[in-house]
Amino acid sequence: MKKRAARFLCMILIAVLIFGIPGCGSEEKTMPETEENKMTSEPQREEAKETPGPMEIKGLAYESAMELDYAKGFGVYYYQDGYKLIRIRDGEDYLLVPEGRNIPSDLEEDIVILHQPLDRIYLAATSVMALFDSLDALDAIRLSGTQKSGWYIENAVQAMEDGAILYAGKYSEPDYELLIDEECDLAIESTMILHTPKVQEMLEMLEIPVFIDRSSYETHPLGRTEWIKVYAAMLDKEEQAETFFKEQSKVIEELKDFENTEQTVAFFYVSTDGTVVVRKSEDYIPKMIEIAGGRYVFDDLENTENNSASISISMEEFFASAADADYLIYNSSIDNPVESMEDLLAKSELFADFKAVQEGNVWCTGKYLYQATDIVGNLITDIHLMLTDGKTEEMTFLYKVS
């Protein structure tokens, strides 16, 4: 009976959102669902503020804060009796209420309540799946915003084959009835949801709390991975997250005394319209290159149009800056992989005049890269091996193009 009533409400709300209420509503900005948008499209925002600290919650005694090494985009605060407060920089505040506990009285209205256990999650933020996988917590995800064919994470593919995870529509067109039938208790979204505000509004009307992952805003590569601790807090798996994160952090420790090679690296792909898509200089990819012992070929590149980490430039502009780069890394997590020099030259004859092409220093990433938020340290290791003529068989993401 409860599900039937919820479905009826769902139908009414869909009609309201489609046809609107006089004097109400907001314009929806539909974005094409490409892997590039999943990774890099971020609504324009003001300069990020510092993560707020713990807040006073009536009836709850504050105990401690989660320790963070690199992440700047969130804070987790612990209160008496197992309550936890997650605060997202430039985002929402979420109070985790332990199973069997009550919501504190006189709680501020804008705090989002998350009732534990969270075990019927709709995951529309693709990059988060790897973090749940590393926590051995895929059983908490019941619904996916990506079809089985779109996953490169083996355990996620298997879970969908087994029916443990169901496809519930992409982030911009979720299957609301299925979310209701499966008693979804949380929707984890990427910042793409901010381009479709009516979807978020609908989810919240159905009393499905929305958590927006902002790990892509982190400028340090391990800051992105450290978001595993946010999801660990939701699932009471903090110890597992800490152990896993320490392993990834070892890469930084091992390379901290390594003298930079001063060799230059270009990280890019060629779009279908012939423009070259690179990363802005303050992005986490250039930071990875620096940690690995190289220099990103663009030392002062900014995106003046929006806050996206990706910037499109003409092939001629790319040639002017990257023709003398020591290494080229082709980002096939967005485009199709480059298997040979012929594949690269087919994109533009200008590549024949690049130093890295002439010297055989062209590398390519695997398709798995954009979903591998959990092991970004491995890409740093790969780039280091590339720069130092290390063993290619030890690489996780990169392979040499011949």
User: Could you give the domains of the chain?
Assistant: 48-115+232-252 (no CATH), 117-213 (3.40.50.1980), 258-400 (3.40.50.1980)
Residue 136: φ, ψ to 5°: 55, 45
Cα–chain-centroid distance for residue 352?
Answer: 34
H/E stretch holding 5: helix 2-19
Spatial distance between the Cα atoms of 296 and 344, rounded to a whole number of angstroms = 20
With H, G, I as helix, E, B as strand and everything else as coil, classify residue 387: helix
pLDDT tens string 137-155: 999 999 999 999 999 999 9
136 pLDDT higher than 70: yes
**Tens digits of residue pLDDT in 251-296:** 888 898 899 999 999 999 999 999 999 999 988 899 999 999 999 9
Whole-model pTM: value is 0.84
Task: Quote the DSSP letter at residue 116.
Answer: S
Measured between alpha carbons, how far is 209 from 212 in angstroms, rounded to an integer? Answer: 10
Cα–Cα distance measured from residue 289 to residue 18, given in angstroms and rounded to the nearest whole number = 46
Rounded CA-CA distance 282/273 in Å is 25
386-400 pLDDT, tens digit each: 999 888 888 999 999
Q: Which of 260, 304, 314, 250 is nearest to 280 (CA)?
A: 304
Residue 238: its H or E element: helix 238-255
- Give mean pLDDT, residues 43-56: 64
**Residue 234 CB neighbour total at 10 angstroms:** 24
| Per-state percent for the chain, helix, strand, coil, to nearest 5 | 40, 20, 40
Three-state SS sequence of 286-342: HHHHHHHCEEECCCCCCCCCCCCCEEEECHHHHHHHHCCCCEEEECCCCCCCCCCHH
* pLDDT at residue 3, as a whole number: 53
Secondary structure in 3-state letters for 143-195: EECCCHHHCCCHHHHHHHHHCCCEECCCCCCCCHHHHHHCCCCEEEECHHHHH
Rounded distance between C-alpha atoms, residue 203 and residue 186, angstroms: 9
CA 9 to centroid of chain Cα atoms: 32
Residue 107 neighbours by CB under 8 Å, 6+ apart: 57, 58, 95, 113
SS3 assignment, position 39 = helix
Q: What is the pLDDT of residues 214-234, one digit of tens each?
A: 998 888 889 999 999 999 999
Cα-to-chain-centroid distance, residue 208 = 21
pLDDT in the model for residue 44: 39
pLDDT tens digits, residue range 348-357? 999 999 999 9
Rounded distance between C-alpha atoms, residue 6 and residue 8, angstroms: 5
The confidence score (pLDDT) of residue 333 equals 79
Contact 163, 170 (CB under 8 A): no
